[in-house]
Structure 1
Amino acid sequence: MIDQKDFRRVLGAFTTGVTIVTTRAGDKIHGLTANAFCSVSLSPPLVLVCVNKDAQSHDLIVQGKCFAVNILNVDQQHIAERFAQEALSGAARFDTLETRAAVTGAPVLGESLGWVDCKLTASHDGGDHTIFVGEVVALSDGDAKVSPLLYFRGEYRILENSDFPAR
């Protein structure tokens, strides 16, 4: 049996970007901080996000059949922290933020590194999470000169010397 603390510690060594996954179901909007996001296919354009089944956004993604993934930049750590708080929910998480509705109606955040707007095409059981697959119906990129917000070993991180690509 794998110890959950060991599992989290080892997988925490994998650096990820930080995203805000948003959704709309009727007049309800919600969002959560997530780092379990990746591209799946170019043709058709598909991405996936993994969402805890207990998260408030989970059922709204199922009901609304859509989600948007907002890729955060280094100056948006406060947004990641806000959307990770259980005390704030629904529209309160979006207060004071610049947002607009994407094609699906899911909110997208201003000043993010980029976003993809998706219609839900499949859901798969993933233990305590659901793996949501979405077809990208709209997307946009932000300022290419701004660094991404990263997550490594349980902490937010930034790139050093980000002007220099890996060799």
Structure 2
Amino acid sequence: MVDTQLFRNGMSLLGGAVTVITTDGEAGRFGFTATAVCSVTDEPPTLLVCMNRNSYAHDHFKTNGALCVNVLTGDHQGVSWDFANRELSSEERFAKHSWTALKTGAPALDEALVNFDCKIHESHEMGSHTVFYCRIQDIRIGTADAGLVYFNRNYHRLCDQSVA
């Protein structure tokens, strides 16, 4: 069996786009910061989002059945911190930023690099997390030209094009 800390150290070297995952509906408005997001298929367009089952917002996402993956720009480190900060209430997190509801009603960050508005199609429990399979209902692409990635336990602004 692999040591948990060794696994976490290894995963810290797998850079990931920083996102804020949001929901709204009968269970209320909630959000959290995540890097555990990836595409599953383009037919039908589907994303995978992983969420810790011990999160204060977990059951609210399951009840609402919809979420928005807000991919953060290179200037959104503060947004990421706000949605990772356990001391801020849900209302305080959302009040600090500008939001618009797309088709599902989940909050879409107005200045995001891209918003993926989704219905939760299916979910599976795996260890400490729930894996949500999310069918995309709408996409809004922003105008920013830099992304925010998390690598080696630090934020990095991603905007340079590689030279082929």
Contact 1:30–1:89, Cα closer than 8 Å, also in 2: no
Structure 2 match to 1:22: 22
Structure 2 match to 1:165: 162
Q: Aligned letter for 1:110?
A: D
Contact 1:49–1:131, Cα closer than 8 Å, also in 2: yes
Structure 1 match to 2:153: 154
Q: How is 1:133-144 mapped onto 2 (pairs within 5 angstroms)?
A: 133-144=133-144
Q: Which runs of 5+ in 2 are unaligned?
A: none
Q: Aligned letter for 1:114?
A: V
Q: Aligned letter for 1:74?
A: G
- Judge which range, 32-41 or 96-105, deviates more: 96-105
Q: Distance in 1 between matches of 2:97 and 2:158?
A: 25
Shift of 1:8: 0.6
Q: Distance in 2 between matches of 1:5 and 1:166?
A: 36
Deviations 1:6-45 (A, max 9, x none): 1111111111100000011326100000000011111111
Q: Which runs of 4+ in 1 moved over 3 A?
A: none
Q: How is 1:26-105 mapped onto 2 (pairs within 5 angstroms)?
A: 26=26, 28-105=28-105
Contact 2:27–2:64, Cα closer than 8 Å, also in 1: no
Q: Distance in 1 between matches of 2:154 and 2:25?
A: 32
Q: Aligned letter for 2:68?
A: A
Q: Distance in 1 between matches of 2:82 and 2:90?
A: 12
Deviations 1:118-146 (A, max 9, x none): 011000112101000111001111115x2
Q: Which runs of 5+ in 1 are unaligned?
A: none
Counting aligned pairs with the same residue, the percent is: 35
How much is the aligned-residue C-alpha RMSD, in angstroms?
Answer: 1.3
| TM-score under structure 1 length normalisation | 0.93
Q: Aligned letter for 1:79?
A: V
Residues 83 and 2 from structure 1, CA distance in 2 versus in 1: closer, same or farther, beyond 3 angstroms? same
